[in-house]
Copies of this chain bind each other. A is one copy, B any other.
Amino acid sequence: MSAKVVVSKRRNVNRQAIFLITLWPFPEDFFLSDPELKSKVPLEYLSHKEKYEEAVRKACLLFRKVIQLQNEGKGGMDNFREVLGGQLGSAILPDGNPITLHYVMFIPTLMGQGTIEQQAEWIQKAWNCDIIGTYAQTELGHGTFIRGLETVAKYDPKTEEFVLHSPTLTAYKWWPGGLGHSANYAVVVAQLYTQGKCHGIHPFVVQLRDEETHEPLPGIKIGEIGCKLGMNSTNNGYLGFDNVRIPRNYMLMKNSQVLPDGTYVKSPSSKLTYGTMIFVRVVLVQDAATYLKKASIIATRYSAIRHQSQIKPDQPEPQILDYVTQQYKLFPNIASCFAFQYAATWLWDTYNNITEELETGQLDNLPELHATACVLKAVSTADAAQGVEMLRLACGGHGYMTASNLPSTYGLVTAMCTYEGENTVLLLQTARFLVKMWQNKTNVYKLPTMKYLATALNRATPFEKSVEWVIAALQKTAAGKIDLANRHLNERVAKGQSYEDAWNNTSIELVSAAEVHGRTIIVEQFYNTVQGYKSRVSKELGTVLEQLLQLYAVNAALRCTGDFLRFTEVLGKDITVLQTWLEELLSQIRPNAVGLVDSFDMRDEILSSALGCYDGNVYERLFNEAQKSPLNAEPVNKSYNLYLKPFIKAQL
């Protein structure tokens, strides 16, 4: 992302690695050097209210600058993408941007679901920021299961209006970013009722606040939902309706319509609205890679600076990076950064190809894409969250400090396990597709990610120390697990359980099968990517990429040795070979570890970590960060005279 190329003697890896990872240039300095975009006091010291106010200040300034760049013809949507979804935005607004959803959800929904006339009415206003919108779908009582939403939009043909209403407390919208006090409009998802019939959920544009005074409009009950594990300046809000009336043409009608007399005209294909959901999950795989990179840089650089304990008596304390247990915490996560990055790139390309097909009416590949996006989102976000936490713990006590930026990074990455489809729910969706394909294998050959299912179970996979073997063994294991889960499902049905109960009772095995399928795809794509690079990069870089691939593969294998021993021909003694292979790779990667994380090329301002800076001045930075605490501005805090002194001086 930065054009700056950083070089240092302790860095050994060919800088080509940069170019394999990030491609588009971006004027980071224009933002990061602006003193107005820095906070006088680190945000963590402010009150919740002050955090929000500071975030609004910065967000307005940030978008002014993006628009300025655009007006000057310097970059277009890419700038928005980096500021909104990239790491630059999170460096400037580390605890969330209260206007993000205006760009990420409000405008795209108007574009995707509005008619041409509606787009003409709304998009210019939204694009000029004359109105600030958000996207209100999730409710207090319902998240991933959107069919269960309770907010009602009832059509009244007499006035040609919809009446929005929250029949229960659980019908209140809950979570939308910027909804609390920032947005004055929202796209609201509600159950559409017309002519006495419910037609399921549909999107409506609703004005929430007066465009001049910002006061909530009559019937709008609105506020913020309170503090959270992270994202405390995103201004997540709640929203209740007390019979709020909106004009008929405020329903977004690109897909379905309600005519003036109340007649409902159905969408030609419900699969078309699928698109955005898949798109977001595709992006999340990339985000998982980015967060894991951030934590990997911080923990690896810190491990090169921190010296502790003794390997040998009477020798100086070694870098903790030289402890093999520490390498085991760091290096597999570095390998995962590459794995998730390549999987994200591949998924993005696949998504684009299939989206192109959709436009020509070809829908055949959509279910596989959906199943793949579900499982990759679930596996990559779960692993990235666990990885970030492992890396945080690998930094010991200092990883617990806000100044390390590891706690906030964890707060952001773990949220991804829940939003945009809870991970267990997503794994079960992939499992449903896998079982369907398994039960009717004739189609499996046509599906790139699943064709292995046709042959894997009968293929001999004698052990050898190679990535190819790991892939074959993972495929056989995934197939074996799907087969076994499917048999257990059928057995339960044969014993008289309904298919639904049998499905629920088999769900632990189904989730596990889907997970192995996901890991299989990730190792395969890593393998394919490295094969593709080999002719294009130096021999040295090729070797390092191969080591990372092997490390990812052998670690994936060692995570499921129990399954391998059940479903493949592997033997106990082979596991010992895998363990030795892993240990060899850790020692091969050791000299390049710092260079590898440098190649992720995140600027110090983006890392925002006292432990992770490029210059390695860990202790000076930790100390300087502590000096910023407002408590340290005065030698004696007022609580001494107020409470502590009376306590000390009292006769107890």
Q: What residues make up the interface of A, taking CB atoms closer than 8 Å to B?
A: 42, 44-50, 52-53, 56-57, 60-61, 63-64, 67, 71, 128-132, 138, 140-145, 148, 169-170, 172, 174-175, 180-182, 211, 213-216, 223-230, 235, 238, 307-313, 317, 322-325, 328, 389, 393, 396-397, 399-403, 407, 414-415, 417-419, 422-425, 428, 484, 498, 500-501, 503-505, 507-509, 511, 558, 560-567, 572, 575-576, 579, 582-583, 587, 619-620, 622-623, 625-632, 635-648, 650, 652
Contacts and interface: CB of A to CB of B under 8 A. Distances in A.
Given A227-B44, A227-B401, A622-B140, A325 B424 contact: yes
A245 B418 CA distance: 56
A308 B564 CA distance: 35
Contacts of A428: 325
Contact of A143 (B225, B397, B626, B627): B397
A168 to B, nearest CB: 9
Contacts of A175: 397
12 contacts: A52-B639, A56-B644, A60-B647, A181-B639, A215-B636, A224-B631, A313-B500, A324-B505, A397-B418, A400-B415, A558-B562, A562-B562
Contact of A631 (B180, B396, B646): B180
A652 B67 contact: yes
Given A562-B564, A579-B509, A632 B317 contact: no
Contacts of A138: 397
A328 B328 CA distance: 28
Contact of A414 (B57, B140, B142, B393): B393
Given A132-B648, A140-B622, A308-B148, A630 B49 contact: yes
B637 A181 contact: yes
Nearest to A508: B328
A359 to B, nearest CB: 32
B324 A631 contact: no
Contact of A309 (B148, B484, B505, B561): B148
A45 B228 CA distance: 11
Nearest to A71: B652
A547 B193 CA distance: 49
Nearest to A411: B407
B64 A238 contact: no
Contacts of A425: 309
A243 B415 CA distance: 49
A511 B325 contact: yes
Given A129-B652, A132-B648, A402-B228, A620 B49 contact: no
Contact of A64 (B141, B145, B652): B652
Per assembly, the copies of the chain total: 2
B401 A636 contact: no
A169 B620 contact: yes
A316 to B, nearest CB: 10
A310 to B, nearest CB: 8
Nearest to A44: B227
A503 B322 CA distance: 12
A132 to B, nearest CB: 7
A170 B226 contact: no
A128 B647 CA distance: 10
Given A226-B629, A415-B400, A631-B223, A583 B505 contact: yes
A191 to B, nearest CB: 15
B623 A140 contact: yes
A572 B583 contact: no
A186 to B, nearest CB: 15
B47 A45 contact: yes
Given A44-B227, A45-B48, A213 B636 contact: yes
Nearest to A423: B393
A626 B225 contact: yes
Contacts of A587: 505
B169 A623 contact: yes
A157 B224 CA distance: 65
B48 A401 contact: no
Nearest to A313: B500
A224 B632 contact: yes
Contact of A648 (B130, B143, B224, B562): B130
A567 B128 CA distance: 67
A555 to B, nearest CB: 11
Given A44-B226, A312-B501, 17 more contacts: A52-B637, A52-B639, A56-B644, A129-B652, A148-B317, A214-B640, A215-B636, A228-B400, A228-B407, A311-B504, A324-B505, A328-B508, A389-B389, A396-B422, A399-B418, A561-B561, A566-B572
* A-B CB proximity, top 4 nearest: A561-B562, A566-B572, A227-B402, A565-B565
A389 B42 CA distance: 27
B60 A643 contact: yes
Residue of A417, A587, A623 with highest tally of chain B CB at under 10 A: A623
A565 B504 CA distance: 28
Given A46-B47, A418-B393, A505-B583, A626 B182 contact: no
Given A562-B562, A619-B141, A640-B214, A631 B181 contact: yes
Given A46-B47, A583-B505, A620-B169, A400 B418 contact: yes
